[in-house]
Amino acid sequence: MQPTTKFRKSSPIPLLFILAPFLVVLVSYVLYHATTLPSIQLPEIIPAVPLHSVTSYVNYSLAELRLSEAVRIPTISKRFDEFTSDDLEHLKRFRGFLEREFPTVRNALNWEIVGGHSLLLSWKGSEGVDTNLPILFCAHQDVVGVDNPGDWDFPPFSGAIKGGFIHGRGTLDVKGMLISQLVAVEALLKAGYRPKRSFYLAFGHDEETIASEGSKALRNLFIERRLRFKFILDEGLPISNRMFPGIEAPLALIGVAEKGMMQLHIRARSSGGHGSMPFSDNAVHMLSKAVSRVADIKPKATLADGPIGDLLQSLAPEHPWLLARAVLGSSFLAEHLVRILPAKVSPGLAAMTRTTLATTQIRGGLGGNVLPNDATASVNCRIRPGETAEEVLHYVAKAIGALIVDADQRGSNDTAFSPLTIWYNCDGPRGCDPSPVSSSNTEAYRVLAGSIRHVYDNALVAPSLLMGATDAATYKVVSDNIYRFQPIRLWPQDVARIHGLNERIATKDLHDMIGFFITVILNADNM
Ligand SMILES: [Zn+2]
């Protein structure tokens, strides 16, 4: 029997004929849109005072020597309660070195020691801080340690100047920027420049620790003095080369937000026993299952709440590939791309658009023949804008079936009825949540972008998201406009030098960074 018309399978051909005109119109529209995308790069801002009239006061060879000497003082970061007398001596020496090397700045600016070892330098403008909000530049005096000094091409605390580079720990992170800021202010003072607006320089002493006591003390001082800043510029993203396939021009990324950072702790407990009779619960087995479930969690990828949508929109008109322009330039297509693109295809983009969970430590077991009754794991969580630490804690706890406990309850017998517990602690002043997202549609952002485009001829500028944490996160209560940017040209192979082996800065980058800070000060004073 023939099926009735009602149930006959319809042929796809007529359907295609019906849809074809719509598809043609849609594809034509997307391609037309892609080919006519206008550039949204901001124009360069030329300082009112000619740059060379100030840079003529910069002694670039001396600036290199000063950075070299700064590197030779090993101000290795520690928690405040772990500083040895040697460490404190190094910090003291570093402060003494700055005062000795920059007498012009020392005499013209107010120098204060804050929180024991951090420095706050205030350059008073001719107008009050209430009528003309001041600007804050940040850097830090401390550096991370070195595990394997013998593997370095040049000893890590030698500050060797060779082959167009200054070598050593802290050159990139971030003594190069600290010295550049001071040289820029020194040159402006020598050129007789007197700002209308006040400028502050804050140099923390333990930025590389979560405790970051220096930034906490500085922030408290700003609050006490009712200081608010027009904008804050801290270390952050670089001028990257070839980080995005197809984009040949250097790309200056201004970090307008940073991801949150939380360490989750998972603990499994069981009754234990002898290894010869492994039939009771085993804490390591329980913990392994929990850790494996954490690895299976797929946090949502989205462009909705962070700055990455704006980054892609900035890149779209500059991209040479039509398909890339079409996808990146359409928020609809770009959103779907980040949702379906496997993280392995573009780990960088994946990390920028979602919360990431990485189990980094695991401990448990007492002996080879003892069934473990207690095991713990730590999960490093980097939280995207739009999510909070509490939300992440809850969905991880649900996925592994763990009881959420307070950090101070973790060893308590009250929780003994649950074999699996989870908690986090958030001690530092930055908190665990992602920072607020500063707008890229402000006068302050335009001044930064315009100054970058003045100093770095062909650079594109775009807002982006910082994966790591900076002192800037501590200062969110004293400014709405917090930007994280360090003008160093970084190639993909150089990224590992930061906190890693053979850290170095190109002398040209140091020179240009001085020009950048002079330009920003002049342009920001004219806002
Ligand atoms: Zn740093």
pLDDT at position 28 over 90: no
Last residue of a domain, one of 380, 395, 424: 424
Give the DSSP H or E segment for 118.
strand 118-123
Report the C-alpha gap between 483 and 520 in whole angstroms: 13
* Same domain assignment for residues 206 and 322: no
Q: Which amino acid does the sequence have at 236? A: G
Question: What's the rounded Cα separation, in Å, for the pair 464 and 396?
Answer: 27
pLDDT at residue 21 greater than cutoff 90: no
Considering the candidates 64, 142, 494, 503, report the single residue annotated as catalytic: 142
CA of 279 from ligand 1 middle (Å) equals 50
The answer as to whether 365 is a domain residue is: yes
Which of 365, 390, 424 is a domain's end point? 424
Residue 445: φ, ψ to 5°: -65, -40
What is the percent of the chain where pLDDT is above 90? Answer: 75
- Confidence class for position 34, pLDDT limits 50, 70, 90: confident
- In this structure, the answer to whether residues 210 and 313 fall within a common structural domain is no
Residues 403 and 515 in one domain: no
Do 86 and 234 sit in the same domain of this protein?
yes
Which tens digit of pLDDT belongs to each residue from 69-90? 999 999 999 887 888 999 999 9
**How far, in Å, is the centroid of ligand 1 from the Cα of 1?**
79
Same domain? For 269 and 380 the reply is: yes
Are 388 and 299 part of one and the same domain?
yes
Contacts of 315 by beta carbon, 8 Å cutoff, 6+ apart = 244, 247, 251, 328, 460, 462
Is residue 378 assigned to a domain?
A: yes
Centre of ligand 1 to C-alpha 35, Å, is 40
Spacing, Cα 523 to ligand 1 middle (Å): 25
Is 2 domain-assigned? no
Spatial separation of the C-alpha atoms in residues 507 and 44, rounded to whole Å: 24
Residue 101 lies in a domain: yes
Q: By percentage, how much of the chain surpasses pLDDT 70? A: 96
137 shares its domain with 224: yes
Residues 161-166 have a mean pLDDT of 98
Q: Tell whether ipTM is more than 0.85.
A: yes
Of the candidates 164, 179, 154, 158, which has an alpha carbon nearest to the alpha carbon of residue 66? 179
Given CA atoms 64, 66, 71, 77 in this order, what sign does their dihedral have? negative
pLDDT tens for residues 488-521? 999 988 888 999 999 999 999 999 999 999 999 9
Domain boundary among 424, 451, 484: 424
Q: Is residue 33 part of a domain?
A: no
Domain count, the chain: 2
The catalytically annotated residue of 207, 213, 509, 525 is 207
| pLDDT, tens only, 255-278 | 999 999 999 999 999 888 888 888
Confidence band of 183 (pLDDT split at 50, 70, 90): very high
Tell me how far the alpha carbon of residue 101 lies from the centroid of ligand 1, in angstroms. 22
Specify the pLDDT at position 492: 87
Res 221: pLDDT: 98
Q: Is 457 a catalytic residue?
A: no
Element (H, E) at 523: helix 507-525
DSSP 320-369: S-HHHHHHHT-HHHHHHHHHHS-TTT-HHHHHHHS-EEEEEEEEE-SSTT
Domain membership of residue 36 (yes or no) is no
DSSP string, 241-253: SS-STT--S-EEE
Residues 384 and 274 occupy one common structural domain: yes
Q: Quick one: 329 and 366 in the same domain?
A: yes
**pLDDT by residue (tens digit) across 243-255?**
888 999 999 999 9
For 401-437, the pLDDT digits (tens) are 999 998 776 655 554 567 899 999 777 778 899 999 9
pLDDT at 22 over 90: no
Residue 165 to residue 179: CA distance in whole angstroms: 15
In this structure, the answer to whether residues 476 and 420 fall within a common structural domain is: no
Residue with tokens 């023949």: 369
Q: Which is it for strands 165-167 and 161-162: parallel, antiparallel or unpaired?
A: antiparallel
* Same domain membership, residue 326 and residue 418: yes
User: Distance (Å, rounded) from C-alpha 464 to C-alpha 208?
Assistant: 22
Give the pLDDT mean for 341-350.
Answer: 89
Give yes or no for residue 10 having a pLDDT over 80.
no
207 Cα–ligand 1 center, Å: 7
Question: Is residue 214 domain-shared with residue 142, that is, in the same domain?
Answer: yes
Q: Which of 67, 69, 104, 95 is nearest to 187 (CA)?
A: 104
Say if residue 525's pLDDT is above 80.
yes
Q: Which CATH number covers residue 74?
A: 3.40.630.10
Centre of ligand 1 from the C-alpha of residue 97, in Å: 20
- b or e along 348-358 (b: 16 or more beta carbons within 10 Å of the residue's beta carbon)? ebbbbbbbbbe
Residue 41 lies in a domain: no
Q: Is 206 among the residues known to form the active site?
A: no
Residue 179 has a pLDDT of 98
Give binding residues for Zn(2+) as ranges.
140, 173, 208, 234, 499
Residue 2 scores a pLDDT above 60: no
335: domain CATH number? 3.30.70.360
What is the CA(513)–ligand 1 centre distance, in A? 16
Q: What is the residue range of 342's domain?
A: 260-424
In a domain, 418, yes or no: yes
Q: Pick the residue with more confidence: 167 or 242?
A: 167
The tens digit of pLDDT for each residue in 40-74 reads 999 999 999 999 999 999 999 999 999 999 999 99
Mean pLDDT in the chain?
91
Specify the pLDDT at position 239: 96
**Averaged pLDDT, 356-379:** 92
CA 204 to ligand 1 center in whole angstroms = 10
| Binding site feature residues | 140, 173, 208, 234, 499
CB of 235 closer than 8 Å to CB of 469: no
280-289 mean pLDDT? 91
